[in-house]
Amino acid sequence: MKAAVLRETNQPLSIEDVATGDPGPREVLVRTAAAGVCHSDLHFQNGAYPYPLPAVLGHESAGVVEAVGEDVHYVEPGDHVITCLSAFCGHCEYCLTGRMVLCNEPELSRGADEPPRLSAGGQPIWQFLNLSSFAENMLVHEHALAKIRRDMPLDVAALIGCGVTTGVGAVIHTAAVEPGATVAVIGCGGVGLSCVNGAAIAGAGRVIAIDTVASKLELARKFGATDTVNAADGDPVAQVRELTGGGVHYSFEAIGLKATTEQAFKMIRAGGTATVIGMIPVGTMVEIHGPEFLREKKLQGSSMGSNRFRVDMPRFVDFYLADKLHLDDMISNRIRLEDVNDALAALETGEVARNVIVFD
């Protein structure tokens, strides 16, 4: 099969012939229909987050089950599925206490004494986040899949695999935004737009979208933003505090930068909560003015929207088909696998929400 392989950080991905093993126990072979090009992929390509190489990148995807191994009972060939990088074992402390997104059990991957799931020229290729979806096929553990209804377009469903689940989940699960609350979202890429959409679904009284690109702010209004703030026009904290008379109840940082994380904390009111969704580079330290904690302000993280993805993803599909999730507007371009490097470069400019690789 064709796959996009990262062999060296800060270098283009190469389109190569990669071999996929046969499904073993609890494993599923999925024909990839579509894969979103997410900013997280860029973080690993440019070395902001170290990862073993060579590896096939990609983690936001949907497809059709081709074959299953022994002891697979959840899916069968022909099923339509969305993948999720927060695969779960089902029996560790995190899984048993309802925090499956934090599961990190090694049994979800093949052991060192087993044949690799991916290889090229007889040499192992690392599987990225248990998925590697920049490829025509994916061989994954069945606990990395959510089965969905067949009338859902798979190119749109791919977005639910990461960006939508992360953004909407951060609102409804991690922060638990209540109806009537005021919300600010910093960054209007795929995750930020999903966060805006999630806040609207949750019934937030006011949703303020913040970015430096005017076209993305206009797009945010389609997703439910009631107000927009262009951070290029002045201090976004001051603008938000003026709009809300002192700050928002909830803020969400959807970029992954020190400066915007600190801004997210500064723009909440007393008793408010700032939630960091973006991937802040390894080694970065965030500075917060300590006395503000006396005002019961909270700064918290969110991993993949604190999801229960086998429950959440089918519901998000229903939301989309009921015109509550505006995912069509999130897709900037549908591209080929060979265009993946251009799509990664476009993320650097901040001009796109999502480019989606569509496979034949």
Query: Which tops the pLDDT comparison, 105 or 2?
Result: 2
Does CATH place domain 176-301 in 1.10.1740.10? Answer: no
| pLDDT for 351 | 74
Tens digit of pLDDT for each residue in 228-286? 999 999 999 999 999 999 999 999 999 999 999 999 999 999 999 999 999 999 999 99
- Domain boundaries defined on the chain: 2-161+306-358, 176-301
Q: Is 240 helix (H, G, I), strand (E, B) or coil?
A: helix
Extract long-range pairs of 87-93: CB within 8 Å, 24+ residues apart: 87/130, 87/140, 87/141, 87/143, 87/144, 88/143, 89/143, 90/143
> pTM for the complete prediction?
0.94
Indicate which residues carry an active-site annotation.
38, 40, 43, 59, 162
The rounded Cα 93 to chain-centroid distance in angstroms is 24
Tens digit of pLDDT for each residue in 284-341? 999 999 999 999 999 999 999 999 999 999 999 999 999 999 999 999 999 999 999 9
Q: Look up the CATH number of domain 2-161+306-358.
A: 3.90.180.10
Tens digit of pLDDT for each residue in 178-230? 999 999 999 999 999 999 999 999 999 999 999 999 999 999 999 999 999 99
| pLDDT for 348 | 84
Tens digit of pLDDT for each residue in 23-71? 999 999 999 999 999 989 999 999 989 999 999 999 999 999 999 999 9
pLDDT-derived band at 105 (thresholds 50, 70, 90) equals: confident
User: Tokens 């700064």 map to which residue?
Assistant: 299
Q: For residue 107, is pLDDT > 90?
A: no
Q: Alpha helices of the chain — where are they, by DSSP H?
A: 39-45, 93-96, 154-159, 165-169, 190-201, 214-222, 236-244, 258-266, 309-321, 340-349
Tens digit of pLDDT for each residue in 135-156? 999 999 999 999 999 999 999 9
Q: For residue 350, is pLDDT > 80?
A: no
| pLDDT for 111 | 87
Mean pLDDT rounded to a whole number for the chain = 96
| pLDDT for 254 | 97
Same fold, 2-161+306-358 and 176-301: no
| pLDDT for 20 | 96
| pLDDT for 311 | 97
